[in-house]
Structure formats: structure tokens, C-alpha cells
């Protein structure tokens, strides 16, 4: 190993005492490859097996906690006990390669495509439609339904425990239901689940965290990771501002959480609301609460030098997404001094070698600009 990159391989102990073998995680990435019931498929398992050997932990593609919250075709399901055998296969595949296995759980809320829902009707904090083609105006959830969804997060956590996962990541980012409750754009409620204050709009995220932790306390006999993912800002008006998020992370840092995972496209990118504000959102969160709770940074960190530079800021953990699709053995290559051979582009003829499921591969190839795809000559 090149001594320059030793910091990438230092073990890290989370607040609950679980040790990660290094500072690199596999980021959660939707792969569209579970079957119609939400059970993992053989090609999905092969995809994770190929990428779990080097990283300290794998955060899976998101799993829906209820059919009414499904957000993607081919999405993993954690919505019923019938899914536990499927989830067990996924956890065992990841852990069998030496990584901690973390199941990301969510409800899509108003971002759910109607054709994936049992009744074709999405739900949200309020009946405010998202500005995205193909979606419908959501129905406002009743207080009873909100309590049910909170319980479903707890139930999904229990299933993850029974399936052998090392943890769950609560998906409070990327405009899905938990973020919808925190956002002044999508939450116009006047009851205890909404309002004009940040604390009122944070009630639902905090209730989900409490229920997840209660499930861990009741069902896990070992230490169990509970992480939380958030998006720093929204482009909508009114929308989540960075000041809102800094107040939120102050509160999150006081909860029983093992990390905060910041969802951005570029680790160094500034505001999506103000072009003149160029301060890294990941760094702002690290500086605000990094002494109280571990922060995971992510976003366009392609090379070992990129990752080292990010770690040198004090952010203790880095998640790699596209990098591990283009180079499944990214971590091992750095570890064995072969970093010069890391692929940072995608050869359109390399699907089989890279062990990428058909649906994910086709999505990548039909989304210009998402990956740096080489010319097919």
C-alpha cells in the first residue's frame, strides 16, 4: 500500500461500539433488480458480492417499508415478514465478504410513481404535488396513518435484525417522505405533525428515529447500527434551507444515532439555492456537529487522492457510489498499491465483468451524463 493512503484504512468505531474495518462505505444506490414481490434476485446478490469485499460497510439500495411507499420498479421490500428470507440472503451475502450490512429503509411519499402503488394514489404530509413529471397530487395522510407508518419503520427494523443485518439507515433525504415532513414546501399541516416552526416539522423524523431505536432495544441482542441520511437543501420555494438543516442536525446529534449521511452529488459543492454560496454542505455539517456524531461524506470522489483530501478535512467516513460500479475492487486496488489501475470511466462492453444487473446497466446506458461512459468503438 502507498503510505499516502493509510488514512483510508484506519478502523473506525461508531458510537454504539461497532468497529468498521476502514473508512470507506458503499453508498446506497437503487439497482432496480429485485423481483416483482420485492425479493432480492440472484443477479442482485452477485452485484453486492462483487463489491462487498473491500469496503467497511455496504448500505443497500433502499427498501420500502409498505407497498404504498414503493418508489422504484425492482425495489427491495422490507414490508412484511415474508420478506425476511430474502433480506437474510442479502445480509449474508454482504457479511460473507467481510463488510457490515446496513439496510436502507424508506417511504417514497409523494415521489412514488402511481403505477407502482396498490391504489395508484401517493400520500404525503400535505396534498402538495411535487414538480416532477409522471407523479400525481398526493393525498394528505391522516394522523392515524402517520402513526401506522412510524410503526412500519419499526417493523422494517425488526425484520432487518431478524435477517441478520448489522444496521439500518433511515432515509430522510432525496425528497422522500421523511424529508417531505421536514420541508415547508410539502408540509402545510397545522396539527402536531407540521407547522411553521422547524421543531414542528421535525416531529415526524424524530418519531421515526424513536420507533426504530425502540425496535432495536426490543429485538436486537447485539449492538446495531442506526444511521440517518439527509439532504442539506431544496430548490423549491419555500424549501429547506441550510439554516433549517443546521438546526435539524443539532437535534439529530442528540438522538441515539450512529452517523449522519449527507446526500449530495459533490462533496465540495456549495448551495443549490444560491450560486454565490460555495461552502461545502458536507463540511458545514461536519463543523456543526462532527464532534458529536460521525458524518459520512459522499459525492464525486473518484480517486484515492480525492478520498484522502476529503478525509483530511476531518470527515471520518466516505461513501463511494458510482466509483464502485465502475471499479468493484476500488478499495482492494488501493490497499494493494494498484491505484493506478482504477477505472474511472465505464466501458459499455464491460457489464458482465463488472457484474452489474441488467436493469441497472440499461438505466445507466440510457441516462447520458450520469456516468462517464467511454465511446463504444
Q: Which helix (H) or strand (E) holds 286?
A: helix 281-289
Average pLDDT over residues 100-115: 98
pLDDT at 1: 85
Q: In the numeric block, which cell numbers belong to residue 275?
A: 450560486
Reply yes or no on whether the pLDDT at 334 is more than 60: yes
3-state SS assignment for residue 59 = strand
pLDDT at 84: 98
Q: In the numeric block, which cell numbers belong to residue 185?
A: 414546501
pLDDT at 195: 84
CA distance 322 to 267: 14
pLDDT at 85: 98
Average pLDDT over residues 139-165: 98
Say if residues 321 and 265 touch (Cβ distance below 8 Å).
no
CB neighbour class for 213 (10 Å; exposed up to 12, middle 13-18, buried from 19): middle
Q: What is the average pLDDT value for the chain, to the nearest integer?
A: 97
Average pLDDT over residues 163-174: 98
Count of CB atoms within 10 A of residue 135's CB? Answer: 16
CB neighbour class for 142 (10 Å; exposed up to 12, middle 13-18, buried from 19): exposed
Q: How many Cα atoms are found within 13 Å in the side-chain-facing hemisphere of 333?
A: 17
CB neighbour class for 16 (10 Å; exposed up to 12, middle 13-18, buried from 19): middle
State pLDDT tens for residues 79-96: 999 999 999 999 999 999
Q: What are phi and psi of 325, to 5 degrees?
A: -80, -45
State pLDDT tens for residues 242-253: 999 999 999 999
Q: In the numeric block, which cell numbers belong to residue 246?
A: 443546521
**Cell numbers 488501493: residue:** 334
β-pair type (19-20, 12-13): antiparallel
pLDDT at 375: 86
Q: Is the dihedral of CA 63, 69, 71, 75 positive or negative?
A: positive
Q: Which domains does the chain have, with CATH numbers?
A: 3-365 (3.20.20.70)
Reply yes or no on whether the pLDDT at 284 is more than 80: yes
Angle at 229 between CA 136 and CA 332, to 5 degrees: 120
State pLDDT tens for residues 125-150: 999 999 999 999 999 999 999 999 99
83-89, long-range: CB < 8 A, 24+ apart: 83/38, 83/39, 83/159, 84/159, 84/162, 84/163, 86/34, 86/38, 86/39, 86/40, 87/40, 87/63, 87/159, 87/160, 87/163, 87/165, 88/162, 88/163, 88/164, 89/40, 89/45
pLDDT at 191: 96
Reply yes or no on whether the pLDDT at 8 is more than 60: yes
Angle at 172 between CA 151 and CA 72, to 5 degrees: 85
pLDDT at 377: 53
CA distance 138 to 82: 28
C-alpha distances (whole Å) from 376 to each of 130, 347, 360, 365 are 37, 7, 18, 11
State pLDDT tens for residues 46-67: 999 999 999 999 999 999 999 9
pLDDT at 376: 65
Say if residues 294 and 15 touch (Cβ distance below 8 Å).
yes
| Of 103, 118, 231, residue with least CA distance to 167 | 103
pTM above 0.85, yes or no: yes
Average pLDDT over residues 164-185: 98
| Of 42, 6, 48, 4, residue with least CA distance to 28 | 48
**Cell numbers 468503438: residue:** 377
CA distance 74 to 52: 21
pLDDT at 14: 98
Average pLDDT over residues 262-275: 98
Q: In the numeric block, which cell numbers belong to residue 34?
A: 429485485
Q: What are phi and psi of 3, to 5 degrees?
A: -55, -25
Confidence of residue 310 (pLDDT cuts 50, 70, 90): very high
CA distance 313 to 309: 7
Q: What are phi and psi of 202, to 5 degrees?
A: -85, -5
Amino acid at each position: 500500500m502507498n503510505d499516502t493512503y493509510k488514512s483510508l484504512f484506519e478502523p473506525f468505531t461508531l458510537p454504539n461500539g461497532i468497529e468498521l474495518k476502514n473508512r470507506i462505505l458503499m453508498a446506497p444506490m437503487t439497482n432496480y433488480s429485485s423481483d416483482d414481490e420485492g425479493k432480492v434476485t440472484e443477479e442482485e446478490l452477485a452485484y453486492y458480492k462483487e463489491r462487498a469485499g473491500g469496503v467497511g460497510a455496504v448500505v443497500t439500495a433502499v427498501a420500502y417499508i409498505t407497498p404504498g411507499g414503493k418508489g422504484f420498479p425492482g425495489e427491495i421490500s422490507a414490508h412484511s415478514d415474508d420478506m425476511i428470507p430474502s433480506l437474510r440472503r442479502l445480509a449474508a451475502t454482504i457479511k460473507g465478504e467481510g463488510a457490515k450490512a446496513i439496510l436502507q429503509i424508506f417511504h417514497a411519499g409523494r415521489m412514488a410513481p402511481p403505477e407502482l402503488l396498490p391504489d395508484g394514489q401517493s400520500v404525503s404530509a400535505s396534498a402538495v404535488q411535487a414538480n416532477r413529471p409522471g407523479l400525481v397530487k398526493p393525498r394528505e395522510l391522516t394522523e392515524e396513518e402517520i402513526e401506522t407508518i412510524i410503526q412500519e419503520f419499526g417493523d422494517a427494523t425488526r425484520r432487518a435484525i431478524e435477517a441478520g443485518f448489522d444496521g439500518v439507515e433511515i432515509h430522510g433525504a432525496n425528497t422522500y417522505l421523511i424529508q417531505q415532513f421536514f420541508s415547508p414546501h410539502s408540509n402545510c399541516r397545522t396539527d402536531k405533525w407540521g407547522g411553521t416552526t422547524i421543531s414542528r416539522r421535525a416531529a415526524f423524523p424524530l418519531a421515526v428515529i424513536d420507533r426504530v431505536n425502540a425496535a432495536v432495544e426490543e429485538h436486537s441482542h447485539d449492538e446495531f447500527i442506526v444511521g440517518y441520511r439527509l439532504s442539506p437543501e431544496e430548490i423549491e420555494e419555500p424549501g429547506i434551507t441550510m439554516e433549517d438543516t443546521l438546526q435539524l442536525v443539532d437535534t439529530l446529534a442528540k438522538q441515539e444515532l450512529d452517523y449522519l449521511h449527507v446526500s449530495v452529488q459533490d462533496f465540495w459543492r456549495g448551495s443549490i439555492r444560491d450560486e454565490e454560496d460555495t461552502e461545502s454542505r458536507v463540511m458545514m455539517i461536519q463543523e456543526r456537529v462532527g464532534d458529536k456524531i460521525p458524518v459520512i461524506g459522499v459525492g464525486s470522489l473518484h480517486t484515492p487522492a480525492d478520498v484522502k483530501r476529503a478525509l483530511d478535512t476531518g470527515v471520518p467516513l466516505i461513501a463511494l457510489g458510482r466509483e464502485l460500479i465502475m471499479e468493484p475492487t476500488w478499495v482492494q486496488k488501493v490497499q494493494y498499491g494498484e491505484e493506478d489501475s482504477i477505472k474511472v470511466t465505464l466501458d459499455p462492453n464491460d457489464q458482465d465483468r463488472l457484474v452489474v444487473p441488467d436493469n441497472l446497466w440499461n438505466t445507466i446506458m440510457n441516462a447520458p451524463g450520469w456516468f462517464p461512459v467511454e465511446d463504444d468503438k
